[in-house]
Structure 1
């Protein structure tokens, strides 16, 4: 593999890792603070992509679609929390898994009923079209670099919010010992609702940013949800810093693995066999890395102290 192609794949891996972080950050807060397994978090990423595509078409502007999709994703998350999820907090994890899986089925069929099974397209904003010359022979898409910068800025703002504000202090305290926070007079139900809504908005933001480069279609968040769970397990449940580091790691391993493993296997196998075996091994690589990390640090890279 050439140096140019390796750099492109590394940038693609970082960009994919940023999208994973935006989904996993809300998921790790919900799981860490509320001890609530929300399988429907991936479908909120899908709903964000649909909201962005539809609202961008309605306003005639990517930016208009983005600005309207974020509060819409937040409101939808709060509505789901009020209608469904708050009734499951006291239930066991199996009940939460079954109920949120039902939400996945309902929302997937809902968008299919409203918009059909055909993928929707969201145009790249004109200001971010074209490419940036990173080196001789390498013109990298401007929009993908914008996703990287937007994700890094969001990660910085989220760190400031969690680490430097009173609301963030309550979230961290809730992740450490929710019963004690409740005993100190904090309205834990309201805290849970805000955390859930904020997590849904982050997932929706990831969906809107991914919409111009991916097909917006029913079920698009299902595979991403699996990787998001891998991220929070590697990073440490409830840790935003851990989710950020683990998301970049998973994004790089997932992207570079699919490019490098078949090339390495061509050294010992013919091209057809290397391609087939490489695809199978590359899909396993993330889980192998997770197993190795958990063998050394069973609580993840940056576990929340309890």
Structure 2
């Protein structure tokens, strides 16, 4: 029983991490139809800067940890905003060029990160509570998973409230449906789309800082590794569906954990097999809309 609880809870916690990374991808594609392959670079840079902030203030304190998360979100938002303004905005409706330029940015960013911080992974430390466990039904659950679940819930709620309850959220949704009409009303839709990129980058930044505490290290390739699972989650959940991404994140992570434990570490293979099945049976994904 305790083994089952550990697998389920850690699977949900890992799914929360996948969602933090995938939420930005899903949001940007759903509202702007941009496949951003540089999303992992947002995450990695945020993790490195967050780590340096924590190092400067003392890694064991909660104050430095929370500040590193906030700085990570800010770095991710700024990096994403600059990417949209400089590289993506001139290429709207030119999807092949968008893919090529974001892939190129991803490779260039990895090389830059290796040049600045080195090619080896850097071990990190954080508040002692993150490495401790909490008993649940006889199982000991690492506390980092509870933090990941809390962060994912807060990010999901914040994005939904922003889109449904704020003026810019309404402008963004209206601009997606009929951009020319919104522009005719004198509203700068481009500014709203930049905000979407910033929100996606901020979510990636939060995910990056929390991911390095889950891994207990940070490296130049960390974002690329998580980006693979983020794309899998986004496709299975349905491109552009934030709710679908949340459901798929938990499904993929729990299945991955079960397969790793009971099927000899085949979690990644099972996840890829699930992706293939979804693409064959329901190409739009769990909650995606058919073209």
User: What is the CA distance between 1:294 and its match in structure 2?
Assistant: 4.0
Give runs of aligned pairs for residues 207-286 of structure 1, distance below 5 A.
Answer: 207-214=208-215, 215-262=217-264, 279=266, 282-286=267-271
**C-alpha deviation, 1:184, in angstroms:** 4.6
Give TM-score, length-normalised by structure 2.
0.88
Q: How many residues align?
A: 285
Q: TM-score, normalised by structure 1?
A: 0.84
Matching of residue 287 in structure 1 with residue 289 in structure 2: no
Structure 2 Cα separation of the partners of residues 261 and 172 of structure 1? 44
Match of 2:34 in 1: 36
Match of 1:267? none
Offset at 1:127? 4.8
Matches within 5 A, 1:4-83: 4-60=2-58, 61-83=64-86
Residues 126-180 of structure 1, C-alpha deviations (whole Å, 9 max, x = no match)? 45442211133x2222222122122122222222222333333333344445455
* Structure 2 residue 186 is matched with structure 1 residue 194: no
**2: CA distance, partners of 1:177 / 1:11:** 42
Q: Given the alignment of the two structures, is residue 100 of structure 1 paired with residue 85 of structure 2, yes or no?
A: no
Q: Aligned to 1:140, what secondary structure does the other structure show?
A: strand
Instruction: Give distance in 2, aligned partners of 1:159 and 1:78.
Output: 20
How many Å separate the matches in 1 of 2:178 and 2:281? 25
The verdict on how the C-alpha distance between 1:24 and 1:148 changes in structure 2, with shifts beyond 3 A counting, is same
String of CA shifts for 1:214-260, please: whole Å, max 9, x gaps.
12101112132122122222222222111111111111122222222
Gaps of 5+ in 2: 59-63
Distance 1:173 1:29 in 2: 15
Residue 275 of structure 1 corresponds to none
**1:63/1:231 CA distance change after superposition, 3 Å:** same
Q: Distance in 2 between matches of 1:142 and 1:284?
A: 27
SS in 1 for 2:116: helix
Q: SS at 2:230's partner residue? A: helix
Distance 1:249 1:171 in 2: 29
Q: 1:157 to 1:304 in 2, by over 3 A?
A: farther
